[in-house]
Amino acid sequence: MTMKLSKNIAALACAAVLALTLSSCSGGAGAAGESGGSGAGAGKKIGLIMLQGDTYFQGIQTGLEEAVKADGGSVTTGLSNNDPATENQVALNMIQAKMDAVLIQPTADEASLATMKAIKDAGITLICYGNCVGATADPANVDGVIQSDNTALGTGTGEAAAKYLKEKVGDTVKLAILNCDVASACKLRKTGFLDALKAAGIKVDVVTDQEAYLTDKATPVAENILTANPDVDVFWASNDGGTAGAVIGTKGSKKPVFGTDISTQIAGFILEADGNLQATTGQDPVGTAKGAYEMAKKVMAGEKLDKHSVELPGIVYDRANPETTNKFLGK
């Protein structure tokens, strides 16, 4: 442990304990002969740092806990709430708890770098599973990267939106955006969405672009946008909370909504007979979590990763093609 790290822990440990309580889910040791209880992950302590507690991150946690429990290990979770200072406190708690590996979705690029370096300096395996760009994806700072292709998440919905708008609205539209730009990944999604519209020949007038990524906050934002801009043609949201808020906030207006991410609620909106959510592109949280854990296991075992950085494709859920949505719901 470095002198700098020791000083950081001494200065912040008490604040970290008070600021955030970490939860742990432990799996019992596997029975003799069971493959789940052997290998690099056997009995390991895995830390999971999440941006927030929405449906996507619930899927991340569930997927990781399933995989780690099968190996007889334990998972300790913490929320950064999109705040670099809180993220640092969570990380210090995990360092003191002597995690074997930490999976992180950083709150920011440069602002998260010191936290990530502290984890690495403590000799802990570090995997970035989303929002990994620039320095936070650099092999010098992180042992592996696995994340959704966030530009493609925006492109998928943008292509579906372009087709709908050409048929229903026209080549020139007024667009309202509910963003989650606090995360770099969301900016990539926005770029993908807008570029897809442009490539299809749609001229876009962005009448407003507001931060709204939690459902309870995004709902009144969407309502207020509609009141202030009754002539807006279409809404787009860059995550699941924003998507749900846009749908609820514009209910009854018949304004088309396009979104990002998938959940049982969002799938229900897609299938609603008189609903206005036209399409969304979803991630695979369980696959992402399990892939990140497999990366961590290889690194802990001293093995070389096949690829340092892996991008996972998204899936488009379109009202025009309900089969994909029904499959998501297990129908």
**CA 155 from centroid of its chain's CA atoms:** 17
pLDDT of residue 20: 37
Give the gyration radius of the chain's Cα atoms: 21
Dihedral sign of CA atoms 115, 117, 123, 124 in order: positive
Distance CA 291, CA 42 (A): 16
pLDDT in tens, the chain (331 residues): 443 333 333 333 333 333 333 444 433 322 222 223 345 667 899 999 999 888 889 999 999 999 999 999 999 999 999 999 999 999 999 999 999 999 999 998 889 999 999 999 999 999 999 989 899 999 999 999 999 999 999 999 999 999 999 999 999 999 999 999 988 889 999 999 999 999 999 999 999 999 999 999 999 999 999 999 999 999 999 999 999 999 999 999 999 999 999 999 999 999 999 999 999 999 989 999 999 999 999 999 999 999 999 999 899 999 999 999 999 898 8
In terms of DSSP bridges, do strands 74-79 and 23-26 run parallel, antiparallel, or are they unpaired?
antiparallel
Q: What is the per-residue pLDDT across 102-134, written as a single tens digit (0 to 9) for each?
A: 999 999 888 999 999 999 999 999 999 998 989
CA end-to-end span of the chain: 52
pLDDT of residue 69: 96
Look at residue 110 in the predicted model and tell me its pLDDT: 87
- Give dist(CA 216, CA 186) in Å, integer: 19
283 closest CA partner among 266, 295, 308, 301: 266
Q: What is the DSSP string of 29-67?
A: PPPTT-GGG-STTTT-EEEEEES--SHHHHHHHHHHHHH
